[in-house]
């Protein structure tokens, strides 16, 4: 990757479905880089299905989360809009509808650090609906 910087990444996700709440949290290392008017994070994560490569493209208007390897998806977040995503796993494919309720992205170059917070409803088929709050923080490795 050109002009990339190593960063420490902290991912914190809260998923609410009715009265139940699930928290997924992990820390990893990855790369930060800039291309045109967007910032990118690239990192690997462990999943039940295997290793997943994740790229997050961020700017103040929209966010793309692209996953490949064990899981494949391109999820788009645009405030107050519905987007459709095909979520492919080794055991099958689901269609997800994402309604972005909130998007906040703060970033600084010196020191290199940032924070992305997404709040969205995720609908799986027509039966399941979940409220997600995803926060991804990053800072340059010391």
pLDDT in tens, 40-57: 999 998 877 788 999 999
pLDDT in tens, 43-97: 998 877 788 999 999 988 999 999 998 889 999 999 999 999 998 888 888 889 9
Q: Quick one: average pLDDT of 29-42?
A: 94
- CB neighbour list of residue 52: distance below 8 Å, 6 or more residues apart: 44, 45, 46, 67, 68, 69, 70, 71
Examine the pLDDT at 134 and tell me if it is beyond 60.
Answer: yes
Q: Specify the pLDDT at position 2.
A: 60
pTM of structure: 0.90
Question: What number does CATH give the domain 5-140?
Answer: 2.40.128.20
């Amino acid at each position: 990757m050109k002009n990339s910087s190593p960063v420490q990444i902290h991912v914190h996700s809260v998923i609410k479905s009715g009265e139940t709440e699930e928290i997924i949290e992990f820390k990893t290392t990855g790369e930060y880089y800039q291309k045109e008017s967007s910032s990118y994070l690239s990192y690997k994560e462990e999943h039940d299905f295997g290793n997943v490569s994740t790229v997050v493209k961020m700017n103040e208007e929209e966010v793309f989360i692209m996953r490949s390897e064990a899981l494949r998806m391109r999820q788009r977040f645009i405030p107050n809009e519905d987007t459709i995503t095909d979520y492919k796993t080794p055991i099958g494919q689901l269609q997800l509808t994402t309604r972005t309720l909130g998007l906040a992205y703060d970033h600084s170059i010196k020191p290199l650090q940032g924070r992305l917070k997404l709040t969205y409803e995720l609908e799986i088929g027509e039966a399941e609906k979940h409220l997600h709050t995803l926060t991804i923080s990053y800072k340059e490795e010391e």
